């Protein structure tokens, strides 16, 4: 195979790898923050709230996404979880 044919294929493969890891740091940061906030909500006595349960479910899903390298979905779920944690702490 000629080099000029391989170059676009290599560039495409590298772009795919970069796209897959674009949300990796965001996923980890959001998950860490959300778990800490969830612990605070639990300590404050909001563990029985519906919003707390939704947040816990979303965080479990986010962690699963992280393990399967679904970093964008992980980030989205962790952000939603943080919203529900704020709602829980506000008594909603």
59-65 long-range contacts (CB < 8 A, ≥24 apart) are 59/31, 59/34, 59/35, 62/27, 62/30, 62/31, 62/34, 63/31, 65/27
Q: Identify the band that residue 5 occupies on the pLDDT scale cut at 50, 70 and 90.
A: low
Tokens of 15: 């772009």
Q: pLDDT digit string (tens) for 70-88?
A: 999 999 999 999 999 998 8
Q: pLDDT digit string (tens) for 26-35?
A: 999 999 999 9
Between 45 and 19, residue with greater pLDDT: 45
* Percent of the chain with pLDDT strictly greater than 90: 55
């Amino acid at each position: 195979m000629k080099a000029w044919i391989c170059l676009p294929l290599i560039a495409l493969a590298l772009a795919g790898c970069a796209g897959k890891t674009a949300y990796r740091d965001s996923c980890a940061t959001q998950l860490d923050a959300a778990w800490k906030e969830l612990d605070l909500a639990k300590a404050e006595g909001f563990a029985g709230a519906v919003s707390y349960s939704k947040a816990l479910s979303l965080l479990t899903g986010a962690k699963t996404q992280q393990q399967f390298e679904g970093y964008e979905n992980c980030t989205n779920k962790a952000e939603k979880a943080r919203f529900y944690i704020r709602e829980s702490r506000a008594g909603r």
